[in-house]
Amino acid sequence: MKRELIFLFVTGLLASVAFAHGDEKHVVGTATQVSQESVTVRTNANEIVEVLIAPETKFTKGNVTAAAGDVHVGDRVVIHAAPRKDGKLVAHTVQIGEGKVSAQPH
């Protein structure tokens, strides 16, 4: 019973967050490639997603304003992006995690 209540609470919370951002997509995971034009992310669902960077994209690291150059391969990121008509995602905000992901043993 407790588990179901927690699930319902978290589901409702996530739904309200998604609704608050309109049609923006949330890309959460680890940066695998970084350039001045885009960030490629391996998501928590193990998908590879490229998100374009626009001049108006806002970057933060912790509670501090950051820049595109502060994103590095291995950084955990949370990106809020809007889809363009051609289907590509363009970042509105990029939140950079405080620590890098350590290499996983094979």
Residue 46's CATH number: 2.40.50.320
Write down how long the chain is.
106
Which pair of structure tokens corresponds to residue 11? 């589901």
pLDDT digits (tens, 9 = 90+) for 18-71: 444 568 899 999 999 999 999 999 999 999 999 999 999 999 998 899 999 999
Does residue 44 form part of some domain?
Answer: yes
Beta carbons within 8 Å of 73's beta carbon, 6+ residues apart: 31, 32, 33, 34
Residue 12 belongs to some domain of the structure: no
pTM listed for this prediction: 0.73
Residue 19 included in any domain: no
The domain in which residue 54 lies consists of: 24-100
Q: Is 3 a member of any domain? A: no
